[in-house]
Structure 1
Amino acid sequence: MRDPITAKQFHDAEGIDDWRVVSGGASAVYKTPSFSAGAAFAVTIATIADELDHHPDVDLRARSVTIRTRTHSTNSLTEMDVALAQRIQLAARELDLVADASAVQTVFFAIDTGRFDEVQPFWKAALGYKERAANELHDPKRRGPLFWFNDKPHRAGRNRIHVDVSVPHDLAEARVQAVLDAGGRLLGDRYAPAWWSLIDADGNVCDIATWRGRGDD
């Protein structure tokens, strides 16, 4: 039950229509009629997680509950994530809770640097983050955005820091269009659907990314 699976294998499973794979795991966001209703749903999730011995991150807000699966041993999706998602979705349906796939996303800040050994420790100390990988920092409480470092020289005339937003694969093109409609320009799409690069009026770059086009298809 702990063998790694691909994003496509996750989405091919039955009973996970409410869920979307984004960078870092699988997520679902459910709208709730009240804070207390969300809290009760969180308790139900906790019971399911304890029964499966597979515990997600749960973010309780006034009108929503966000769940993100976490796999400690393999750092990838497994069949346990599918089982957890199926159970949680079934519980949500029994409570008449509606999923909002458009609210699912993961945010990264990406820094281009030719001086990785000097720059990475600065951000690690400034943010109070921990190393998740050699070139990646994360909030140990998993609240803030991830930071990753592209160890290559800065290109003249280009921004040094850009934002990566990982979104559901079936909503990515709509997100890209929304950015274009908001005044953005397409910088490049040769890597789509893995990511589209967009640029604002001041030359700042944001990549809209998905799991597709990365060998998981």
Structure 2
Amino acid sequence: MVHATIPGMEETSRRQEASDAVSHLGWRLLLGTLRTSVPVSSLSQAASAATHAVATCGSEADDHLRVDLRPERVVLTLQSRKRAAVTARDVDLARRLTAALSDLGLRTDPAIGAGAVQLLEIAIDALDIAAIRPFWAAVLGYAPEPDADIVLVDPFGQGPAIWFQQMDQPRPQRNRIHFDVCVPHDEAAGRLEAALAAGGRLVSSAEAPAFWVLADPEGNEACITTWQGRDD
């Protein structure tokens, strides 16, 4: 299936607009991608759903669609490979995929359960990012993300992204590597409450809802992040 090129479809979408356009369909905006989790009953059904998704995207599949198959679910990810961001094309594909999967009796539904889609980043504090980034790229087999000189990504899409946080001076009482857990914006409050109930403490909410800084009982930090609060 080939779709005509429409001016503006490859332009990067603003986060709020992208989220508003597809959230009611069960898609969530996470780290410059649109993601949904489709419940299935078998690996065979997952393969059928994936095949249908690829056919629906047609010639745009290679540049925009990623599929992760499991016996219990299919995770669909949309992002422009050229821009490493969500575009109007991805929003359009999300709508088309939801309709196409519905024809198979499958759903992209926001009620599928907390944690069905999330992304993990590892943040490394650095005084000289340019000096340490090549080491981490080499030891992990990672590559720079397009147009992002502080991010490394797994070229095969298997491991979490690594990003480098610029430091002005050493902070020896703070862990130098921490996890950023990017969750759907409507799951952040629940994740925050669960972490606090499990013995964590809130270090800072100054940048919320972009991120909350938490610490475990020994002071090791982690952040819960969302797309919100990041648009100009």
Q: TM-score range by the shorter chain?
A: over 0.9
Q: Which residue of 2 aligns with 1:94?
A: 103
Give, in angstroms, the shift of residue 201 of structure 1.
1.7
* Secondary structure of residue in 2 paired with 1:134: strand
Q: 2:140 aligned with 1:131, yes or no?
A: no
The structure 2 residue matched to 1:106, chosen from 114, 119, 132, is 119
Distance in 1 between residues matched to 2:70 and 2:150, nearest whole Å: 31
Q: Which residue of 1 aligns with 2:179?
A: 163
* Contact 1:46–1:55 (8 Å) recurs in 2: no
Q: Which residue of 2 aligns with 1:79?
A: 88
Distance in 2 between residues matched to 1:73 and 1:127, nearest whole Å: 23
* Secondary structure of residue in 2 paired with 1:214: coil
Give, in angstroms, the shift of residue 171 of structure 1.
1.1
Give, in angstroms, the shift of residue 206 of structure 1.
1.0
Q: 2:79 aligned with 1:70, yes or no?
A: yes
Greater mean deviation of Cα atoms: 70-79 or 30-39:
70-79
The structure 1 residue matched to 2:53, chosen from 40, 45, 50, is 45
Give, in angstroms, the shift of residue 97 of structure 1.
2.5
Q: 2:212 aligned with 1:203, yes or no?
A: no
* Contact 1:2–1:78 (8 Å) recurs in 2: yes
Question: How high is the sequence identity, in percent, across the aligned residues?
Answer: 38
Q: What are the Cα deviations for residues 2-40 of structure 1, in whole angstroms up to 9, with x where unaligned?
A: 122112111332685210001131100111111100010
Q: Give the letter aligned to residue 50 of structure 2.
A: A
Distance in 2 between residues matched to 1:80 and 1:108, nearest whole Å: 25
Q: What are the Cα deviations for residues 57-89 of structure 1, in whole angstroms up to 9, with x where unaligned?
A: 111112111111121233322111111101111
Q: Which residue of 2 aligns with 1:148?
A: 163
How high is the TM-score relative to the length of structure 1? 0.92
Matched residues, number: 216
Distance in 2 between residues matched to 1:79 and 1:168, nearest whole Å: 20
The structure 2 residue matched to 1:60, chosen from 45, 53, 69, is 69
Name segments (4+ residues, structure 1) moved above 4 Å: 51-54
* Contact 2:15–2:231 (8 Å) recurs in 1: no
Give, in angstroms, the shift of residue 205 of structure 1.
1.1
Q: What are the Cα deviations for residues 162-214 of structure 1, in whole angstroms up to 9, with x where unaligned?
A: 11111111111111111111111111111110101111122211111111111
